[in-house]
Structure 1
């Protein structure tokens, strides 16, 4: 672990203590801005400097974004005040689970097809809140920052949501540093986190909030259309959309 990583970990711990205390106080009286401020500060301390282009989402919006790094989460939350759809494995870490739940995270088990109904109901409930909900349809980060095919299963929420729903693609653009900030095969989550904290210099990232998708499309069409829009914004050739239901 580098000296820089140690310093940033201490700074993040201090920022967490400040934000958690203020959040626990403010949430008694209504929605708290402190989860967003916590995540935005984490991204800033890690060196991310974010520029946004396009209309930011409002409530009842399902954001569909490409996934490059764990840094996507603090940057998107800081810019759009969104909650996230996350892998159920985070439930096993009590501290991380608390942080996720305070920001309105919806946990899903992607490999348990029988639980899709419960997952969609949880997403529908989250979309009724004041926050947009962000989904990474790749399901994981790609190798060397490359985009994987979009999986359409959870986009079924757009077919059956009980609330008026907008689906908005968001392109997370790391520019030439996408590969450096990606998650190489064989690297543990802890090693990846510490490696990125140890990098010197700033990371200039652009978040492209793209035009919402036309309503009435089925989940497979939405996945393919979102991936094409994001690929175009990033200037890359899209991978074929996943065939999974």
Structure 2
């Protein structure tokens, strides 16, 4: 297995559990229908949204993405530096769940970098295509230069490009995965800035507690520890999407936090590997924690 196709040690059995308050089947089903309906609505509205000016389009996408996350029963907390848009910005974040995509879009809407298979997914595939997703062939190393070129072109055009450079999802516990350097070469080629973003999910313990019995896994802890970290949102390994959706809507008291870290100019580091390490260290570092600048409940 090459570094272009990394594999995380996290598995659904070991990492994707929830030890916290739970919703009953009926309210959970209502959230599932509401979140899915809003996602489908986004698919239907994309052609019309593309006709809007950039500022209005970004504002509408942020509002829609935030509403999708809330519709699935998850609160949103935004911390760190305010996200002033700069032309040609590469947003890089750790990757835990499918929820990361609307969560990042709620604050930093941009063109996503995704694997080619997503194009054929129901609902999400058409939405990704219409939203300007840059699809890449992750299985073919020879396709890597074309992917780097496509990202660099998008950055040069002034687009914001959103990437999860770990190349796979992890449960969110432990130090996280290595950031692949390839996409950072695109930032260097385009003279772009890099915006590191840290994504995390917490569970507020309140009311009756239901325990999954999920064991301590290879990623560094049980499904919910004393700090409130929850594995309910983790979408790892061969976890079916339907199972992940149901786990999220049945887990009460979930909060998604997106932490905006200082921009890194692409020319600040001596090369793509050093730039990738700088972004990875910024996302993983405990010193990245800052007071909240805005909270959405």
Say whether the fold is shared (TM-score over 0.5): yes
Q: Note the residue ranges of structure 1 that are not aligned, 5 or more in a row.
A: 237-245
Residues 11 and 169 of structure 1, relative CA distance in 2, 3 Å threshold: same
Q: Deviations over 1:190-230 (max 9, x none)?
A: 31122112211231414233332451531111111111111
Whichever structure has more helix as a proportion of its residues is 1
Say yes or no: does 1:226 pair with 2:279: yes
Q: Deviations over 1:90-117 (max 9, x none)?
A: 0122532221123221112223111112
- In structure 1, the partner of 2:177 is 148
Q: What is the distance in 2 between the residues matched to 1:96 and 1:103?
A: 10
Q: Quick check: which has more Rg, 1 or 2?
A: 2
- In structure 1, the partner of 2:76 is 49
Say yes or no: does 1:191 pair with 2:243: yes
Q: What is the distance in 1 between the residues matched to 2:111 and 2:140?
A: 22
Residues 119 and 230 of structure 1, relative CA distance in 2, 3 Å threshold: same
Residues 219 and 130 of structure 1, relative CA distance in 2, 3 Å threshold: closer
Q: What is the distance in 1 between the residues matched to 2:242 and 2:124?
A: 13
Contact preservation (8 Å) 1:68, 1:145: no
Structure 1 residue ranges, 4+ long, deviating more than 6 angstroms after superposition: none
Residues 143 and 29 of structure 1, relative CA distance in 2, 3 Å threshold: closer
Secondary structure (helix, strand or coil) at the match of 1:25 reads: helix
State the Cα RMSD in Å: 2.7
The one of 151, 158, 162 equivalent to 1:123 is 151
TM-score using structure 1 length: 0.82
TM-score using structure 2 length: 0.69
Secondary structure (helix, strand or coil) at the match of 1:140 reads: coil
